[in-house]
Amino acid sequence: VTRDDAQALDAADALAGLRSAFALPDGVIYLDGNSLGPPPVAVHERMAQVTRREWGEGLVRSWNTADWIGAPLRVGGKIARLIGAKASEVTVADSTTVNLFKLASGALTLRPGRTTMLSEAGNFPTNLYALQGLEAQLAGRATLKTLPPTDVVAAIDEDTAAVVLTHVHYKTARRWDMNAVTAAAHAKGALVIWDLCHSAGAIAVDLNGAKADLAIGCSYKYLNGGPGAPAFLFVAERHQAKIRSPLTGWMGHAEPFAFEDGYRGAADIRGQITGTPPILGLAALEVGIDLQLEADPALVEAKGLALAGLFIAEVEARGADPALTLTGPRNPAERGLHVSFAHPEGYAIVQAMMARRIIGDFRAPDIARFGFSPLFLSYVEVWDAAHALADLLASRGWDRPEFRTRAAVT
């Protein structure tokens, strides 16, 4: 397509108005909102307000007067609307890694007698590490089994307590069929824990429509909650009274301010909250969530898939470098919103793109990854980025020593 065609798509884009709600530097094309979303304009004012007025003037009283204590469930309830859950089924808490540990442990308590946690090889490392940590903790009472993605569903059996999968894969963008996998697990009496890190705010997720059991997710990616923003977790209502958290802290107690010696877990979603909520992080996150709620999730998904499709098509149409190969599915129904190209010089390519103020990221060993956040990107930006990449490949503009120096974070 031509750049004019891309401009016409922008003119017809129902989400285009949201761009001005984000504070992005001039001249930067930001294709890494799937790793760290940019700040909403309103977050600066909100942070000043929460630090000056709520923290500074309200002091400890703000737990009540600014409803800090209610923030995890309030923000969780808003996230619920983005992922097809009830408000009472989602809370903000801890990090994704910690939440996975808690829910995997909880899944084992919901399925006593079963010992297998099943996941896919190549899942996001922290997911596998958390499960390995739980396995070590349980010293033989539970085992993590990782299989190639094509073999996972067939391996679910009567010993499977939980299947732990990332809905949209962080590298390949391959999307699991949430309804089909959940149904297959349930047919064997197993539970599924869905990681929604690359889905929430990107793909129109319907957890209850899929009869999902448990889910976790990040809020600093497509939800634009800020670096290290607290994560969220979902426990279906039917599991809430029975599931046990292995991290029994006072905020998960039925009555935290009774100050009892003995732990009595809350029988609702609060049972998954551990300790004192991070109020500054929650305040920033709530701004991102409120912005996300202005957009229809179906439109967000459709635009994101269209942007990703445009990028793939424009890069490939130029055929600039045979060494560049798309990793993961082409079919929009089977993918998420980022695009990963494998190339032996993937790292240098990403660095050279950054020098042109087009920001993507690199995932070892050879993936140049570009994310297409629908709330702030335009079709023209994506068209420009695709052509910049194609030009760079054609000219070998990445082939310079300064683009090969590895930083700590890729």
Residues classed as catalytic: 124, 195, 220-221, 369
- The CB-of-264 to ligand PLP minimum distance in angstroms stands at 28
Q: How do strand 116-120 and strand 143-147 relate by DSSP bridges?
A: parallel
DSSP single-letter state for residue 339 = E
- Phi and psi, residue 362, nearest 5°: -115, 140
Residue 146 beta carbon to ligand PLP: minimum distance, rounded to whole angstroms:
14
Residue of 62, 91, 97, 172 that binds ligand PLP (CB under 6 A): 97
How far from 307 is each of 98, 154, 380, CA to CA, in Å?
Answer: 33, 34, 10
Considering only the stretches 38-46, 68-76, 120-128, 366-374, report the one whose residues sit in contact with ligand PLP under the rule CB under 6 A: 120-128
Q: Segment near ligand PLP (CB under 6 A), from 89-97, 147-155, 253-261, 270-278?
A: 89-97
At residue 13, what are phi and psi to the nearest 5 degrees?
Answer: -80, 115
Residue placing its CB nearer to ligand PLP in the complex, 22 or 170? 170
Q: Does 222 bind ligand PLP (CB under 6 A)?
A: no
Listed ranges 193-201, 319-327, 364-372, 373-381: which one lies at the site for ligand PLP (CB under 6 A): 193-201
With CB under 6 A as the rule, give the number of residues binding ligand PLP.
13
Cβ neighbour number for residue 142 with a 10 Å cutoff? 21
Tell me: does residue 170 bind ligand PLP (CB under 6 A). yes
Residue partners of 210: CB distance under 8 A and separation at least 6: 84, 178, 179, 182
Largest CA distance in the chain: 69
Sites for ligand PLP among residues 122-161 (CB under 6 A): 124, 126-127
Quick one: 121 or 355, whose CB is closer to ligand PLP?
Answer: 121
Kindly report the backbone phi and psi dihedral angles of residue 387, in degrees, each rounded to the nearest multiple of 5, phi listed first. Answer: -70, -35
Contact 33, 406 (CB under 8 A): no
Cβ proximity to ligand PLP: between 124 and 176 the closer is: 124
| Angstrom distances, CA of residue 139 to CA of 98, 104, 133, 144, 191 | 19, 15, 10, 12, 21
Verify binding: residue 95, ligand PLP, rule CB under 6 A. Answer: yes
Quick check: 10 and 378 in contact, CB under 8 A?
yes
**What's the min distance (Å) between Cβ of 120 and ligand PLP?**
11
Question: 197 or 289, CB closer to ligand PLP?
Answer: 197
Among 198, 335, 343, 369, indicate the residue that binds ligand PLP (CB under 6 A): 198
Residue 152 Cβ, how far from ligand PLP at the closest point, in Å?
15
Closest contact distance (angstroms) between CB of 408 and ligand PLP is 15
Picking from 91, 95, 382, the residue whose alpha carbon sits closest to that of residue 240 is 91
Binding residues for ligand PLP, rule: CB under 6 A, are: 95-97, 124, 126-127, 166, 170, 195, 197-198, 218, 231
